[in-house]
Amino acid sequence: MKKIEAIVEPYEFEELREKLVKAGFGRIRASEVKEYGTTQGLMITYRGAAQTMQFQPKTKIELICTEPAADIAMAIISQRTKTSRIEEGKIFVSDDSDGMRLRMEEVGAHAY
């Protein structure tokens, strides 16, 4: 099993979620996160006052899938979110050797 974590722009999440669901990824976890990266803060004007946003809002997507499905998920995520901008997003893939579904006490691949 593989765990995929992707950090994307918040406005990209809904369309990305739809594409992943169409491809058969039924369980997707998303959370709002903040990222500090190479942009080193963004100047915004709010009510006439200039402010620096040090952390940029992002959306983190997590899903667990089989190894062949991980390649499909990565392709969908990269096709949907790839631009030529700095800090456009990241995809992390790691091995997920074991897990447990608490309600049924299922372990391993059955837990996902």
pLDDT band at 112 (very low <50, low <70, confident <90, very high): low
Q: What is the pLDDT of residues 32-80, one digit of tens each?
A: 998 876 666 666 777 777 777 677 888 999 998 888 899 999 999 888 7
Contact 66, 1 (CB under 8 A): yes
Q: In whole angstroms, what is the distance from residue 89 CA to residue 9 CA?
A: 7
Question: Which numeric CATH code is attached to 2-111?
Answer: 3.30.70.120
Give percent of the chain above pLDDT 70: 76
Flag whether the pTM goes above 0.85: no
Buried b (16+ CB within 10 A) or exposed e, 37-75: eeeeeeeeeeeeeeeeeeebebbbbebbbeeebbeebee
Residues paired with 46 in a beta bridge: 49
Question: What residue type is assigned to position 42 of the chain?
Answer: L
Mean pLDDT of the chain: 81
